[in-house]
Each structure stands twice: as structure tokens, then as C-alpha cells.
């Protein structure tokens, strides 16, 4: 599992080292840098993809709030400050959590759970974007967009409010129900064979009443309500 990259910024050395020591207890965190000023932190943010900011607010020069404004692309921002009066202003900047000093480990651990839940949801909610020439879709994955050729998609699998898009090389996840996806023009070559599955017709190798075999070896179950779709394929 890829580690979450974080930056820690606090002009108070003891407070900064406290956050560093707490962060090191979490194996899924990678500390890219710990800085005593926002200007140096900005240089690091511009050169590396960062997932989490742990920021003090009241600092000489550029404040933590101003740093967050300039680093708005970072998904998760946690303010750790002695000034609770900044809470309202900070939450206007997509702040995930606001901690009042002195920082305790239990409180930091609670924040880490919130970060993990937030980033997991964000990762699952990769959005179906657009198409080019009718045979390509783009899917947001983190800070990038992945191009997926429609004729490389083997099947779709429903996962609650999401849909997994399965190719021979990778599984993608989009925030859209399988029913809505199948209404899109791009997915007209797919046929629904189960409440949770739709397959691309060109990859079907064999069909029987219980399942469909794809040419990559995948066995897709056939739902009772969708047997008519299968019968149409057999005509």
C-alpha cells in the first residue's frame, strides 16, 4: 500500500517535533518535510505530490491559512494551533480537522482515522469524466487522469454507489451506479447479465444458464432477472 505523504509546518520547535514523533508512529505516513516556516513548505509542496498538511496557523511571515490557500490542491489539511478563534476561518478552506494545542496522541490518532476514512472515500469516488472520439474515457485517479480505452474493458461490477471498471490490466472505480453507466452511449456494447455485472459482448467466450465465461477466463454469474438478455445473445 502506497504511503500517504505529509508535510508538517510549525514555527514552534517543540510542537513541530511533537507532530513529527506522533506521525512516525503510523506506518502508512511518510513525512516529506517538517518546516518552521510556510515559505519553505511551499517549495516542497510544489515539487512533490502531498496528501496531507499538518499546519500551525499563527506563524511569522506567511500564515498557515495563507499556506493552505496556496496549497489548495492538497486533499487533506489539518490545523494544529493555540488559537481556537481561527476555527471558523479555517473551515472555509476545506479543512478536514482543527486541533487546539497542546496536541495529545489520542487526539492525533483520532485525526488519523478521519484522514484515512476521508482519503479512502476520495479514492473510491474516482469520477467518470469524458470521452474522446467515442472510444475513450478518462477517470480521475488521485491528482491524475487515466485514459481507458472502451474496447479494453472486460466487464463492469456494481459496488454499492460505485462501479468497478475491469480491464485485463487494472481495476478502476467510478462514482456512478452501473445502471447509470449503461445508459451512457459509451457503454452500449455492454449487456447486463446480473444485478451486479455487465459484460462487453465481444469478450464472451461461452454462455450457460448460470454464468458467462469471458475470453480472459473470468466467470460472470447470470441473474435470474437477466436471463432474457442472455437469450437475446443466443439468437
- Between CA 122 and CA 193 the distance in angstroms is 29
Question: Which residue bears the cell 505516513?
Answer: 29
C-alpha distances in Å from residue 188, one per residue of 48, 89, 179, 200: 40, 48, 12, 9
* Domain extent listing, the chain: 4-123, 128-234
Same fold, 4-123 and 128-234: no
Q: Would you say domain 4-123 falls under CATH 3.40.50.2300?
A: yes
Give pLDDT < 70 ranges for the chain: 1, 88-92, 121-134, 141-143, 233-235
- The pLDDT tens digits of the residues spanning 147-201 come to 888 889 999 998 877 888 999 888 888 888 888 888 887 788 899 999 889 999 8
pLDDT at residue 134, rounded to an integer: 58
Residue spans of beta strands (DSSP E) within the chain:
4-9, 29-35, 52-55, 76-81, 97-100, 128-131, 136-141, 144-149, 153-159, 162-167, 171-174, 190-194, 197-200, 204-207, 211-214, 219-221
**Is the peptide bond between 170 and the residue preceding it cis, with omega within 30 degrees of 0?**
no
What count of residues does the chain have? Answer: 235
Instruction: Identify the H or E element spanning 107.
Output: helix 105-124
pLDDT at residue 142, rounded to an integer: 64
For domain 128-234, give the CATH number: 2.40.50.1020
pLDDT at residue 127, rounded to an integer: 45
Q: Residues 6 or more apart from 14 whose CB is under 8 A from it?
A: none
pLDDT at residue 133, rounded to an integer: 47
- Between CA 179 and CA 119 the distance in angstroms is 26
Instruction: Identify the H or E element spanning 42.
Output: helix 38-47
What letters, b where the CB count within 10 A reaches 16 and e where it falls short, cover 5-32? bbbbbbbeeebbebbeebbeebeebebb
pLDDT at residue 9, rounded to an integer: 98
Amino acid at each position: 500500500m502506497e504511503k500517504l505523504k505529509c508535510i508538517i509546518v510549525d514555527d514552534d520547535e517543540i510542537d513541530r517535533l511533537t507532530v513529527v514523533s506522533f506521525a512516525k508512529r503510523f506506518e502508512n505516513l511518510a513525512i516529506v518535510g517538517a518546516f518552521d516556516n510556510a515559505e519553505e513548505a511551499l517549495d516542497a509542496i510544489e515539487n512533490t505530490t502531498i496528501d496531507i498538511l499538518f499546519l500551525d496557523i499563527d506563524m511569522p511571515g506567511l500564515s498557515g491559512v495563507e499556506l493552505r490557500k496556496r496549497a489548495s490542491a492538497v486533499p487533506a489539511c489539518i490545523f494544529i494551533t493555540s488559537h481556537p478563534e481561527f476555527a471558523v476561518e479555517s473551515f472555509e478552506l476545506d479543512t478536514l480537522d482543527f486541533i487546539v494545542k497542546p496536541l495529545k496522541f489520542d487526539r492525533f490518532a483520532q485525526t488519523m482515522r478521519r484522514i484515512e476514512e476521508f482519503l479512502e472515500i476520495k479514492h473510491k469516488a474516482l469520477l467518470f469524466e469524458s470521452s474522446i472520439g467515442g472510444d475513450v474515457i478518462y477517470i480521475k485517479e488521485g491528482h491524475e487522469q487515466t485514459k481507458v480505452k472502451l474496447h479494453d474493458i472486460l466487464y463492469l461490477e456494481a459496488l454499492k454507489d460505485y462501479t468497478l471498471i475491469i480491464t485485463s490490466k487494472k481495476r478502476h472505480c467510478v462514482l456512478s451506479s452501473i445502471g447509470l453507466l449503461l445508459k451512457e452511449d459509451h457503454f452500449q456494447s455492454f449487456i447486463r447479465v446480473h444485478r451486479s455485472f455487465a459484460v462487453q459482448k465481444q469478450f464472451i467466450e461461452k454462455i450457460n444458464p448460470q454464468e458467462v465465461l469471458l475470453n480472459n477466463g473470468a466467470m460472470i454469474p447470470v441473474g435470474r432477472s437477466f436471463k432474457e438478455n442472455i437469450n437475446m445473445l443466443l439468437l
